């Protein structure tokens, strides 16, 4: 994979950040063309459109799409939304994906494949489009929910739930380089600090199965089980990604404050396991504190970058107040729309360049140091944590 090739089509940025990115947390793309309503529905964390007469294009992310994505589809910057969407359909989703992905300048994709309301492209597809590398992130709750199905259908006994989950994490595909917890969306992040005992796990499992048998959806949302799953990942020596902060209307943002994880992080510190706090907005300063005081904790700004568009540079500067520069990673958290890969990478590069350049202008660090730090944050920190080839 040549560096030149990867960057050939990319939007020109500052030389400080002019090298391929490792996207340590993203998702696949939809395999079809979209209506305007569908596109708007996938653009932000809102489930539904705004009030009549309003459009999500009138927001930071909407303006960012028009500014940065339109030229890649052959339109002038700031093309009107309808023109943009018409051009998108005209080109077809495959060509749109190819163009936007190529322009994003991402070399490696670590894809969470655990949420697929419709069939999405996989890590190999993404990698193939740009001549990069694809890796997978296994969603812990999905593994547990599939094990629950096996319990319910009698394929395994309730006493074997814990070992089944552990075995399935252990038997992962060679491309699986991390696990991910979505406890933030379910029970919230106020999780038991200590590794739950086998007895506690068995009791929680029985309660959960009872609820399912009484008609509840097969949806894990028990703090003990979320904690157990995280400890399973740690015991398998896998980095554990944890959704933190901002997400869609499904979650209760107050319960996603990373400070709720403090006890668990303190208990995990001696294991040396890498913990990755994803997104973190608007608790990115709290997350940065955790990355400073716990040696194994890292963060990214994930979906907050593309959602805040032109405003995203400020978040990065805030996260980098306390976070050691070896503890900050890049991710797009792109989902469904290839635009989100382009926006995530472009806005991240611009924000990082602005942060580093401001420091150079203020004589806070040298150009040489800034260059080295940019490489850490864009790719090398991820390569170190995930031991990427």
Positions 345 through 364 that interact with a copy of itself (CB under 8 A) = 358-359, 362-364
The token pair at 278 is 């994803």
Q: Which residues pair with 336 in a beta bridge?
A: 29
Asked if residue 331 lies in contact with residue 382, where contact means CB atoms within 8 angstroms, the answer is no
At residue 36, φ and ψ (nearest 5 deg) are -60, -45
Among 92-100, 174-182, 216-224, 254-262, the segment contacting a copy of itself (CB under 8 A): 254-262
Residue 171 binding a copy of itself, by CB under 8 A? no
Query: Minimum Å distance from CB 142 to a copy of itself?
Result: 23
Please, what is the minimum distance in Å from the beta carbon of residue 330 to a copy of itself?
Answer: 16
Least distance in Å: CB of 196 to a copy of itself?
A: 21
The footprint of a copy of itself on residues 23-82 (CB under 8 A) is 44-51, 53-56, 58-60, 63-64, 66-67, 77-78
Going by C-alpha positions, the residue among 183, 191, 177, 184 that lies closest to residue 138 is 177
Which of 111, 347 has the CB closer to a copy of itself? 347
Least separation in angstroms between residue 296's CB and a copy of itself is 7
In angstroms, rounded to a whole number, what is the distance separating the alpha carbons of residues 228 and 265? 14
Residue 315 binding a copy of itself, by CB under 8 A: yes
# residues contacting a copy of itself (CB under 8 A): 75
Among 72, 101, 260, 379, binds a copy of itself (CB under 8 A): 260
Query: Is residue 282 reached through a cis peptide bond, with omega within 30 degrees of 0 on the bond before it?
Result: yes
User: Where do we find the tokens 């070896």?
Assistant: 326
Q: Among 308, 332, 345, 346, indicate the residue that binds a copy of itself (CB under 8 A).
A: 308
Sole residue written with tokens 């991402």: 106
Residue 244 backbone phi and psi in degrees, to 5: -135, 135
Joined tokens for residue 331: 């991710």
272 is written with which tokens?
Answer: 């040396």
**Nearest distance in Å: CB 337, a copy of itself:** 16
Joined together, the tokens standing for residue 344 give: 């995530």
Options 202, 311, 371, 375; binder of a copy of itself; rule CB under 8 A: 311
CB of 362 to a copy of itself, least distance (A): 6
């Amino acid at each position: 994979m040549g560096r030149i090739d990867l960057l050939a089509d990319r939007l020109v940025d500052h030389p400080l950040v002019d090298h391929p990115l490792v996207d340590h947390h993203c998702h696949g793309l939809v395999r079809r063309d979209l209506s305007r309503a569908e596109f708007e529905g996938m653009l932000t964390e809102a489930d539904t459109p705004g009030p009549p007469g309003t459009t999500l294009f009138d927001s930071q992310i909407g303006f960012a799409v028009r500014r940065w994505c339109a030229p890649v589809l052959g339109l002038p910057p700031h093309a009107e939304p309808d023109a943009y969407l018409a051009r998108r359909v005209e080109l077809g989703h495959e060509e749109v994906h190819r163009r936007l992905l190529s322009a994003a300048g991402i070399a490696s994709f670590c894809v969470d494949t655990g949420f697929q309301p419709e069939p999405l492209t996989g890590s190999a597809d993404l990698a193939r489009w740009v001549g990069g590398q694809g890796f997978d992130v296994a969603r812990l709750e999905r593994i547990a929910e599939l094990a629950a199905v096996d319990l319910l259908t009698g394929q395994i006994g309730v006493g074997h739930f814990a070992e089944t989950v552990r075995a399935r994490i252990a038997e992962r595909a060679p491309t699986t380089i991390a696990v991910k917890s979505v406890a933030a969306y379910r029970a919230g992040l106020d999780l038991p600090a200590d590794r739950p005992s086998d007895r506690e796990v068995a009791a929680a499992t029985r309660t959960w199965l009872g609820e399912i048998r009484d008609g509840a959806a097969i949806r894990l949302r028990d703090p003990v089980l979320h904690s157990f799953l995280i400890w399973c990942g740690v015991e398998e020596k896998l980095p554990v990604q944890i959704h933190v902060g901002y997400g869609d209307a499904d979650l209760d943002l107050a319960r996603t404050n990373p400070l709720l994880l403090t006890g668990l992080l303190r208990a995990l510190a001696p294991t040396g396991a890498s913990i990755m706090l994803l997104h973190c907005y608007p608790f990115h300063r709290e997350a940065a504190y955790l990355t400073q005081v716990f040696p194994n904790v890292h963060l990214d700004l994930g979906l907050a970058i593309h959602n805040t568009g032109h405003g995203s540079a400020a978040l990065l500067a805030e996260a980098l107040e306390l976070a050691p520069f070896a503890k900050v990673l890049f991710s797009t958290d792109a989902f469904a729309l290839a635009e989100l890969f382009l926006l995530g990478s472009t806005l991240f590069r611009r924000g990082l360049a602005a942060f580093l350049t401001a420091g150079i202008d203020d004589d806070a660090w040298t150009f040489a140091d800034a260059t080295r730090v940019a490489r850490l944050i864009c790719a090398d920190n991820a390569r170190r944590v995930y031991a990427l080839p």
